[in-house]
């Protein structure tokens, strides 16, 4: 099947799903007078999409796979398990979209709670905010947020799982909670390991001639492992507190570096590690007849990160080692043996006051204090010989969010208006190419505003709109680097954007659902992660980006046991640079502009016995070709919206069309106590490319065993 035929088939399937409600109105039996609408009670003027991870907790699927099945969302990775991930949401990507854990910014957990690592059964749901953020988050996201809500059952429970699969991949988790007489305790833990030794198509350099030859090799230095443990104790429903929870979190990460920001150069000995300990305290209380709600969270985190690059030579893609007396490392000639300490203090204070049954005031304050100091005997030096990393770096930011939510006409019309104050202060030193010490200090403030509105047309449909002037402050690792392959950039400016969102949704429980969203973005100083010298990456500002987009999502219950679903996303994001006619109006580099999904889910009961269940599912994913670098508009594909044809550039700058089929099942032998899940990803073993044309694993198999009590 050709690419154009596949694209037509995918669009046809999605459009068919989206048209179902229009053509099926008259076919609904007249006796069905009671319409059950699910999820509308919590709908607010702020655009929210909820992924119920509890439904998928027994599937051997990752959170990234679940997210990528959702309209408007694409998460890309730079390799296999544990590789760096980049979230794109309605035109924004990377740090412009914020991650949260139970409403708390994830900065203090480093890479320990990365969305690529967290098991599905550890979460209750994922809340995706497209555009304006709720007051409770109070962060400086530019275009949305992902809030991972951990499972907090009111009843005692135990859930364990073990998964094994291709490339010697092993994943395990345990989640437990026990409560009695107002006291509770629990643990959440997971472990991941993989050799990540999948096959990749590379360009091997002939050492004799210098000519590059295409060949397929198996990655040999790409292992990854991590563990994460959080234990908590607390009490609830006491006269002086609704909930008081103390949590102690620890994690460790080890990774081998097979390549840098691109796959142009292999490594064979470089490695990195990260570990942290983070105690935290949560307090909740409602006062004055539940009119005033207080939510206070505070955490102190000590995180250590290190990189070892002392090969004194280089490796080729076959694992052959070539010693060299002129270079200490393989990532860089100077090598690295870094040991960097980070200290985080984060406080979030949330206050909510109900003025009346129809109006509520909100106030949220988030304070973040970050300090970094380290050492690297191989690293950059000042002219006096001092280690650059031993020069302390500090970062402080405070964000105050305040606003009012109101509802009118018996809650048919809901409105949310908010304002935000941002302030940040940095103090850090670096060396220029001559070793001269350069100290950079920033002390800046800004304001932002947002307005969201939702109108409930009837019991099954509503319109939603929002507009905001958003701002995002640079993160500490964007400014200071990560001590591994990400370089510092002290001159980063905050991102600013005017965002407009408009959406419509109609749904009938157990029948169908259709949702359409459009957006407009006008962004200045967008921060993108850019490859530097094939090895490193650095966060840099892009002057101005404008764009529009649309996404649509639909599902339809063909039978009571069979559901079809599909979605597509198109986003036209263009660089505005009138001083450079070559790249002016070019699509944003390394950014997919069209992607779509389709799937079938079957649920069968009493398959082999009276108490068993079987779930079978198939998913299809399509990503239209996009481009590693800025592409002059005149050489873009000439087909409609760029969806057909080929770009007139060298193939090495094209991330090609990708079509991935996955098939799996979950079997419950007895009720829901025990489950066996099986999944084959990329059935046809199609080459899969992602960030900057880095190749991801091909076909793989996974088996997951789960037990719940």
Comparison of pLDDT for 587 and 132, the residue scoring more: 587
In this prediction, what percent of the chain has a pLDDT beyond 90?
62
Quick: pLDDT tens for 262-274: 888 899 999 999 9
How are beta strands 73-77 and 144-150 bridged, if at all? unpaired
Quick: pLDDT tens for 537-587: 788 888 789 999 999 999 999 999 999 999 999 999 998 987 888 888 899
Quick: pLDDT tens for 24-67: 333 333 333 333 333 344 456 777 888 999 889 999 999 999 99
Beta strand spans in 432-533 (E): 437-458, 461-472, 486-487, 495-508, 512-532
Measured between alpha carbons, how far is 437 from 342 in angstroms, rounded to an integer? Answer: 21
In this prediction, what percent of the chain has a pLDDT beyond 70?
93
When divided into structural domains, the chain yields a total of: 1
Residue 105 lies in domain: 3-708
Could you tell me the CATH number of the domain that includes residue 596?
2.40.170.20
Q: How confident is the model at residue 142 (pLDDT cuts 50, 70, 90)?
A: confident
CA nearest neighbour of 74 among 655, 694, 690: 690
pLDDT, position 198: 97
DSSP string across 354-422: ESSSSEEEEEEEEEEEEEEEEE-TTS-B-TTS-BGGGS-EEEEEEEEEEEEEEEETTTTEEEEEEEEEE
pLDDT at 214 over 90: no
Contact 641, 570 (CB under 8 A): yes
DSSP string across 67-106: HHTSTTEEEEESSSTT--EEEEETTEEGGGSEEEETTEEG
Quick: pLDDT tens for 677-687: 999 999 999 99
Comparison of pLDDT for 381 and 396, the residue scoring more: 396
Measured between alpha carbons, how far is 463 from 243 in angstroms, rounded to an integer? Answer: 36
Q: How confident is the model at residue 7 (pLDDT cuts 50, 70, 90)?
A: very low
pLDDT, position 485: 64
pLDDT at 324 over 70: yes
Measured between alpha carbons, how far is 368 from 346 in angstroms, rounded to an integer? Answer: 5
How are beta strands 98-101 and 144-150 bridged, if at all? parallel
The pTM for the full model equals 0.88
- Which residue matches tokens 């990655």? 219
Least confident range from 218-227, 573-582, 657-666: namely 573-582
Quick: pLDDT tens for 476-517: 878 877 655 677 888 888 999 999 999 999 999 889 999 999
pLDDT, position 94: 79
């Amino acid at each position: 099947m050709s690419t154009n035929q596949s694209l037509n088939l995918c669009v046809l399937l999605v459009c068919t799903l989206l048209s179902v409600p229009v053509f099926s109105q008259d076919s609904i039996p007249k006796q069905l007078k009671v319409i059950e609408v699910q999820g509308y009670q919590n709908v607010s003027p702020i655009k929210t999409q909820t992924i119920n991870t509890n439904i998928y907790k027994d599937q051997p699927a990752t959170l990234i796979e679940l997210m990528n099945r959702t309209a408007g969302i694409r998460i890309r990775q730079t390799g296999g398990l544990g590789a760096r991930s980049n979230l794109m949401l309605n035109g924004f990507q990377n740090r412009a979209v914020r991650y949260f854990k139970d409403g708390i910014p994830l900065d203090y957990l480093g890479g320990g709670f990365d969305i690529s690592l967290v098991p599905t059964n550890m979460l209750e749901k994922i809340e995706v905010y497209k555009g304006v953020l709720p007051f409770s988050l109070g962060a400086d996201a530019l275009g949305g947020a992902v809030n991972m809500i951990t499972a907090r059952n009111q009843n005692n429970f135990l859930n364990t799982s073990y998964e094994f699969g291709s490339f010697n991949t092993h994943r395990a988790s345990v989640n437990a909670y026990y409560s009695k007489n107002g006291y509770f305790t629990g643990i959440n833990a997971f472990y991941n390991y993989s050799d990540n030794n999948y096959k990749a198509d590379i360009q091997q350099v002939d050492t004799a001639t210098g000519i590059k030859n295409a060949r397929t090799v198996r990655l040999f230095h790409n292992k990854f492992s991590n563990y994460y443990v959080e234990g908590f104790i607390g009490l609830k429903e006491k006269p002086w507190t609704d909930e008081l929870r103390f949590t102690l979190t620890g994690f460790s990460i080890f990774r081998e570096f097979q390549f840098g920001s691109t796959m142009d150069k292999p490594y064979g000995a470089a490695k990195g590690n990260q570990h942290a300990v983070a105690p935290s305290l949560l307090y909740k209380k409602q006062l004055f007849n539940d009119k005033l709600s207080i939510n206070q969270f505070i955490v102190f985190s000590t995180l250590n990160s290190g990189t070892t690059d002392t090969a004194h030579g280089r490796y080729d893609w076959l694992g052959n080692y070539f010693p060299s007396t002129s270079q200490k490392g393989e990532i860089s000639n100077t090598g690295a043996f870094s040991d960097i300490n980070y200290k985080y203090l984060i406080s979030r204070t949330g206050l909510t006051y109900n003025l009346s049954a129809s109006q509520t005031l909100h106030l949220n304050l988030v304070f973040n204090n970050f300090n970094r100091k380290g050492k690297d005997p191989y690293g950059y030096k000042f002219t006096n010989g001092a280690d650059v990393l031993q020069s302390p770096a500090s970062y402080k930011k405070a964000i105050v969010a305040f606003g009012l939510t109101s509802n009118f006409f018996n809650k048919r019309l809901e409105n949310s208006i908010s304002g935000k104050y941002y302030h940040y202060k940095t103090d850090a030193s670096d060396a220029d190419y001559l070793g001269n010490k350069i100290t950079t200090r920033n002390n800046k403030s800004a304001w932002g505003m947002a307005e969201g509105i939702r109108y409930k047309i009837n019991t099954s449909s509503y319109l939603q709109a929002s507009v905001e002037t958003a701002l995002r402050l640079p993160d500490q690792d964007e400014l200071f680097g990560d001590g591994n392959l990400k370089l510092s950039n002290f001159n980063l400016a905050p991102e600013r954007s005017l965002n407009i969102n408009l959406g419509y949704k109609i749904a009938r429980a157990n029948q169908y659902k259709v949702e359409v969203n459009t957006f407009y973005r006008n962004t200045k100083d967008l921060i993108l992660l850019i490859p530097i010298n094939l090895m490193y990456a650095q966060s840099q500002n892009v002057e101005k980006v404008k764009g529009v987009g649309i996404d649509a999502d639909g599902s339809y219950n063909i039978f009571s046991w069979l559901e079809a679903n599909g979605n597509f996303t198109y986003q036209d994001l263009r660089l505005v640079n009138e001083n450079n006619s070559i790249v002016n109006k070019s699509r944003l580099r390394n950014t997919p502009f069209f992607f779509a999904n389709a799937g079938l889910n079957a649920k069968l009961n009493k398959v082999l016995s009276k108490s068993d269940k079987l779930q079978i599912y198939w998913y299809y994913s399509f990503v239209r070709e996009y481009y590693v670098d800025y592409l002059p508009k005149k050489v873009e594909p000439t087909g409609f919206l760029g969806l057909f044809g080929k770009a007139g550039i060298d193939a090495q700058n094209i991330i090609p069309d990708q079509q991935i089929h996955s098939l799996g099942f979950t079997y419950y032998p007895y009720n829901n106590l025990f489950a066996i899940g099986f999944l084959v990803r990329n059935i046809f073993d199609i080459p899969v490319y992602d960030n900057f044309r880095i190749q991801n694993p091909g076909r793989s198999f996974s088996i997951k065993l789960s037990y719940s009590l």
